[in-house]
């Protein structure tokens, strides 16, 4: 995960900022050993010296003397330190007069001028990346919030940015699951997702027991009317996708997944065997939908055995 913390010396400020301090306590679910600094920027300067490190120090000559006349020959010292014990990233920008190694005495000297016209001259950022701990649990969340202090004044906290892991696919159902093409078939479907939420659905249809084909792909609709051909028999199947791309488990030939759990296994086989020879209309054990549970249905389950599991 990559984070950036932005800061700005407000356009209404009366003087450039000489010192900016940023602290950021990193979420307990992050693996600090994977921490790496990214680039640092302020005004028109891009500082890449600390990229890939876990901290360090860099001295950057100020180049904004035309905007801030008092800045001639000044530098900004940037120090980044990751305290593993408190899980805190400390970043300090300090304007320094290299002749004295102290902050400049001119009151209008400083590395970050007021962000006049919002043109970027008074903006800065730090960036870093850090990875989640290994094998995170579903719904683990990663919260980040930084605190920024200008010239020892009041501390401003940023918005809290939250990322959450969604590791499980959604589920969905369609009704009815079968119908005759003699009249339009009104279909309704719905889905549930634990995490990011259902994004869309794909609806499959099987005509007269043939393998399923896509009817509606990745639709956000939850109902539609299917117009078939008179005398033909149709089976319907839905699977859903969530907002981070987890797709509901689906057998390669969904006809064979009698109990609709996404996997063709001995449960499905047992249901076909226990109904073997019986007549039914639209029962899931009648895989082909021809009204009888027979060896054709059994063969489809056997050929698909293990699919989606």
The residues that touch Ca ion, with contacts defined as CB under 5 A, are 27, 29, 141, 166, 168, 193, 195, 242, 246, 257, 259, 261, 263, 268, 286, 288, 290, 297
Q: Which is nearer to Ca ion, 92 or 269 (CB)?
A: 269
Q: Nearest approach, Cβ of 36 to Ca ion (angstroms)? A: 20
Sheet of strand 233-242, all strands in order from the earlier edge strand to the far edge: 178-180, 233-242, 198-207, 213-219
Q: Which is nearer to Ca ion, 8 or 24 (CB)?
A: 24
For residues 263 and 143, what is the distance between their CA atoms, to the nearest angstrom? 36
Q: Nearest approach, Cβ of 135 to Ca ion (angstroms)? A: 14
Q: Which is nearer to Ca ion, 15 or 143 (CB)?
A: 143
Q: Nearest approach, Cβ of 168 to Ca ion (angstroms)? A: 5
Beta pairing partners, 206: 235
Q: Which is nearer to Ca ion, 24 or 166 (CB)?
A: 166
Q: HSE, CB side, 13 Å, CA atoms: give it for residue 246.
A: 20
Q: Nearest approach, Cβ of 198 to Ca ion (angstroms)? A: 8
Token pair for 62: 């100020």
Q: Nearest approach, Cβ of 122 to Ca ion (angstroms)? A: 33
Q: Which is nearer to Ca ion, 5 or 40 (CB)?
A: 5
Of all residues in this chain, which one has the CB nearest to Ca ion in the complex?
Answer: 195
For residues 268 and 287, what is the distance between their CA atoms, to the nearest angstrom? 10
Do residues 222 and 201 make contact, with C-beta atoms less than 8 angstroms apart? yes
Q: Nearest approach, Cβ of 22 to Ca ion (angstroms)? A: 20
Q: Which is nearer to Ca ion, 114 or 254 (CB)?
A: 254
For residues 303 and 289, what is the distance between their CA atoms, to the nearest angstrom? 17
DSSP 237-299: EEEEEETT--B----SSGGG-TT-SS--SHHHHHHHHHTTT-B-SS-TTSTT-SSB--HHHHH
Token pair for 149: 């202090």
């Amino acid at each position: 995960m990559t984070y950036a913390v932005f800061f700005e010396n407000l356009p209404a400020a009366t003087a450039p900022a000489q010192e900016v301090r940023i602290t950021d306590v990193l979420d307990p679910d992050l693996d600090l050993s994977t921490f790496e600094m990214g680039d640092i920027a302020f005004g028109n300067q891009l500082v890449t010296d600390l990229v890939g490190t876990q901290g360090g120090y860099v001295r950057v000559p100020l180049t904004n003397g035309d905007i801030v006349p008092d800045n001639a020959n000044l530098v900004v010292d940037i120090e980044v330190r990751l305290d593993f014990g408190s899980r805190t990233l400390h970043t300090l920008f300090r304007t320094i007069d290299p002749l004295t190694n102290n902050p400049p005495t001119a009151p209008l000297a400083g590395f970050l001028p007021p962000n006049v016209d919002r043109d970027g001259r008074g903006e800065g950022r730090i960036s870093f990346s850090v990875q989640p701990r290994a094998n995170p649990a579903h719904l683990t969340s990663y919260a980040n919030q930084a605190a920024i202090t200008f010239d020892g004044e009041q501390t401003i906290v940023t918005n809290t940015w939250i990322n959450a892991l969604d590791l499980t696919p959604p589920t969905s159902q369609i009704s009815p699951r079968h119908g005759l093409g003699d009249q339009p078939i009104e279909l309704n479907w719905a889905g549930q997702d634990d995490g990011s939420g259902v994004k869309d659905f794909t609806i499959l249809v099987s005509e007269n027991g043939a393998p399923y084909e896509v009817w509606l792909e990745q639709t956000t609709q939850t109902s539609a009317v299917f117009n078939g051909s008179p005398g033909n028999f149709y089976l319907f199947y839905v699977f859903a996708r969530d907002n981070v791309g987890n797709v509901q488990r689906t057998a390669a030939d969904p006809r064979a997944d009698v109990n609709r759990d996404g996997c063709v296994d001995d449960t499905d086989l047992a249901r076909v065997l226990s109904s073997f020879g019986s007549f039914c209309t639209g029962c899931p054990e009648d895989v082909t939908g021809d009204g009888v549970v027979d060896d054709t249905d059994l063969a489809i389950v056997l050929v698909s055995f293990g699919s989606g599991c």
